Amino acid sequence: MSQTVLVAGGAGYIGSHACLALKQAGYTPVVFDNFSNGHKAFVQWGPCVEGDIRSRVDLDAAFDTYNPIGVMHFAGLIEVGESMKDPLSFHENNVSGAINLIAAAKDAGVQAFVFSSTCATYGEPHDVPMDETHVQKPLNPYGRSKLIIEQVLNDLRELSGFPSVALRFFNAAGADPEARIGEWHEPETHIIPLAFDTALGLRNGFQINGADYETRDGTCVRDYIHVCDIAAAHVKALNYLLGGAKGGAFNLGTGDGTTIKELLDGIHKVTGRPFPVTEGPRRSGDSAMLVADNTKAFEVLGWRPEYSLENIVADAWRWHKTLRQSN
């Protein structure tokens, strides 16, 4: 039997793609999810445990049953805007829940812990592209909640030898090219699926959040990275730790920045369905420009993104049409 990996939040967007990548790499992913945001239809490549990372009883039962060699942690609240409105929920889930999961994994003798962090831990960029030595000063509770867990893992790595990797990914996008899984949030707040819904006539127009930034066309610049590239990096990080490495932090991005207007142009091209776009006020907590320096991930993990922005939009569009046709 193949070695098992517990994937907390494995029924969500990025977690389910990580499960697919784990299966393809010869592991058995065990999904651990409370289905507050995940989807049971996304559990396709291994067993599932319905539980909450805030419950030590739920976690211990899963570890006792499946004896995983590693853990991947995706079970976090992710909406920046919501974190500004309800910071307590973000700290309860993203901090208290994560610490509970880390403690259970450590007590179970797990040999590799891969944490999905975020470029939001950096805050406003001082240098672009940003490398892993960039100062970490988050602009919102979401980013702060992720930074706290990075610091917890740093302490455990240095003081007790608990091996872990924090992957700071930039803007996850795209979908499984075979359209088995993809981006599906309820309610949806992410730019590409919202634009697709506008293209399909399910929304009345599309609003850009801020067009007065100091960028080449006034809109925010983001580093869009295919979800399958992110999933592949998680497997690389797992193998890195299982090979005896202590761990560390790595950026996951392409190194190329795309403005919101450029992204919308690409969406218009792929869908063949232009739609009206208006300009609105800036969104609280947003940075003007977030672009990764991914040199460290390439040199240490041997990871390199394989998908282009056009791939991202095309794969996401294929999935989104499938999703909307089935709902």
Hey, which residues are catalytic here?
142
Half-sphere exposure of 152 (CA within 13 A, CB side): 20
Q: Which residues pair with 252 in a beta bridge?
A: 169
Distance in angstroms (rounded) separating the CA atoms of residues 301 and 303: 5
What residues form DSSP beta bridges with 226? 173
Spatial CA neighbour of 120 closest among 142, 152, 87, 148: 142
CB-CB contact of 223 with 170 (8 Å): yes
Measure the CA–CA gap between 35 and 289, rounded to whole angstroms. Answer: 33
Residues in the chain: 327
214: amino acid identity, one letter: E
Distance of CA 192 to the CA centre of its chain: 15
Query: 131 Cβ partners below 8 Å, 6+ apart?
Result: 251, 293, 295, 296
φ/ψ of residue 241, rounded to 5: -70, -40
Name the phi and psi angles at 244, rounded to 5: 110, 0
